[in-house]
């Protein structure tokens, strides 16, 4: 016993010292709960000051009110992924990259290409119909491209409807936890656990919005109606409409959890005789985090936009050559 007690005391001291050192390090690296950082990074920051807006209030330069002869015009309709949220460089987002490349190619043959970025952050498909009605008379597009991000057929795009209620429950639980309030090492563990929980909830909500029952799929049915409506509006002026599927940039491996959602959306476009381009193959095999604006903002960064533009280039080139 005389030998065991000192060893036991030394072991306890070593454990306490290790825990204390780890706790001290945790306090140095910990800034704020991840959900607070997530909310902060979704809010427009200083980068928006450099955003160029045109006469339509959209991101991009202005266009001549009279469509130039021998020109082809493309209208992109979409949400914040099309707008380029989080990317300050106006020339680094895929609508601008596509316009630059296609215009250079067609200019060599005496023509030109202009692409209007109709991306609206926080929008739903109803807003895209309104935007098309607003700009079609003056912009006179030869091609309408619906850029459909997987979240656009769901109700998860609204923070009040999805994220905030879940976050508030997590905050309430953590405020009542003595461990969370006093041990920063535990905070790191709990924050990781909370992130995993909300990620699972998000994935479940996405899938339920397309494959669920009853009211779960209401937004997807609305989106289907609006896709058909956009096509019908285009047909009034013999304008072709195409559909692009933009995947969620997460878990981009062979087990990608939303492949069937991408296939469903693409299949709907094909059933309605729309040219369809699915961006998922272009992103598969990439490290998703390398394509994000930040660890707490999964909008595509400049690299993500570049990949999207490279994949879309032959698709749009073919459609414009046929128009």
Residues 79/152, Cβ–Cβ less than 8 Å: yes
- Same-domain pairing of 19 and 76: no
Residues 312/94, Cβ–Cβ less than 8 Å: yes
- Same-domain pairing of 161 and 12: no
Q: Domain with 109 in it: what CATH number? A: 3.40.50.1110
- Same-domain pairing of 38 and 62: yes
Look up residue 214 and give its DSSP letter.
Answer: G
- What is the pLDDT confidence band of residue 16, given thresholds at 50, 70 and 90? low
- Same-domain pairing of 21 and 75: no
Beta-strand relationship, 240-246 and 143-149 = parallel
Tally of structural domains, the chain: 2
Query: In this model, does residue 276 exceed pLDDT 80?
Result: yes
- Same-domain pairing of 244 and 263: yes
- Same-domain pairing of 22 and 79: no
Distance CA 282, CA 304 (A): 10
Least confident among 4-8, 105-109, 163-167, 279-283: 4-8
CA distances to 77, 132, 198, 297 from 137, in Å: 16, 9, 43, 36
- What is the pLDDT confidence band of residue 27, given thresholds at 50, 70 and 90? low
Q: What is the mean pLDDT of the chain?
A: 86
Q: Which two tokens stand for residue 238?
A: 């013999």
Q: Is 113 strand, coil or helix?
A: strand
- Same-domain pairing of 223 and 213: yes
- Same-domain pairing of 39 and 13: no
- Mean pLDDT of the region 61-65: 90
- Same-domain pairing of 129 and 270: yes
User: Model confidence over 221-253: pLDDT tens digits?
Assistant: 999 999 999 999 999 999 999 999 999 999 999
Q: Residue 293: give the domain boundaries.
A: 32-322
- What is the pLDDT confidence band of residue 123, given thresholds at 50, 70 and 90? very high
User: Model confidence over 167-226: pLDDT tens digits?
Assistant: 778 778 888 888 777 777 777 777 777 777 777 888 888 999 999 998 899 999 999 999
Instruction: Report which of residues 36 and 40 the model is more confident about.
Output: 36
- Same-domain pairing of 202 and 293: yes
Least confident among 57-71, 107-121, 187-201: 187-201
- Same-domain pairing of 90 and 165: yes
Reduced to 3 DSSP states, what percent helix, strand and coil does the chain have, rounded to the nearest 5?
60, 15, 30
Q: Which two tokens stand for residue 257?
A: 């959890």
Place of tokens 């729309």: 274
pTM of the model: 0.85
- Same-domain pairing of 104 and 177: yes
């Amino acid at each position: 016993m005389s030998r065991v007690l000192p060893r036991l005391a030394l072991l306890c001291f070593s454990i306490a010292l290790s825990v204390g050192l780890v706790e001290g390090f945790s306090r140095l690296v910990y800034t704020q709960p991840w959900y607070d950082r997530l909310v902060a990074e979704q809010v427009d920051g200083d980068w928006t000051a450099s955003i160029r807006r045109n006469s339509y209030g959209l991101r991009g330069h202005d266009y001549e009110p009279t469509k130039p002869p021998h020109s082809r015009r493309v209208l992109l309709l979409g949400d914040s992924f099309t707008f380029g949220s989080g990317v300050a460089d106006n020339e680094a987002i895929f609508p601008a990259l596509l316009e630059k490349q296609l215009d250079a190619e067609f200019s060599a043959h005496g023509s030109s290409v202009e692409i209007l970025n109709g991306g609206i952050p926080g929008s739903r498909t109803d807003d895209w119909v309104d935007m098309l009605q607003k700009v079609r008379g003056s912009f006179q597009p030869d091609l309408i491209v619906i850029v459909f991000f997987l979240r656009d057929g769901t109700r998860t795009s609204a923070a009040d409807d999805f994220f905030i209620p879940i976050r508030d429950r997590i905050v309430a639980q953590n405020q009542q936890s003595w461990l969370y309030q006093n041990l920063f090492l535990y905070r790191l563990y709990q924050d990781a656990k909370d992130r995993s929980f909300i990620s699972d909830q998000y994935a479940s909500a996405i899938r339920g919005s397309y494959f669920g029952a009853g009211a779960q799929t209401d937004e997807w049915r609305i989106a289907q109606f609006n896709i058909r409506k956009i096509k019908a509006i285009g047909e009034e002026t013999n304008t072709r409409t195409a559909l692009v599927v933009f995947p969620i940039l997460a878990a981009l491996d062979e087990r990608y959890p939303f492949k069937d959602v991408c296939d469903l959306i693409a299949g709907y476009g094909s059933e309605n005789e729309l040219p369809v381009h699915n961006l998922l193959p272009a992103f598969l095999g990439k490290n998703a985090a390398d394509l994000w604006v930040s660890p707490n903002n999964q909008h595509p960064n400049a690299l993500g936009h570049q990949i999207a533009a490279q994949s879309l280039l032959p698709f749009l080139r073919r459609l414009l050559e046929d128009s």
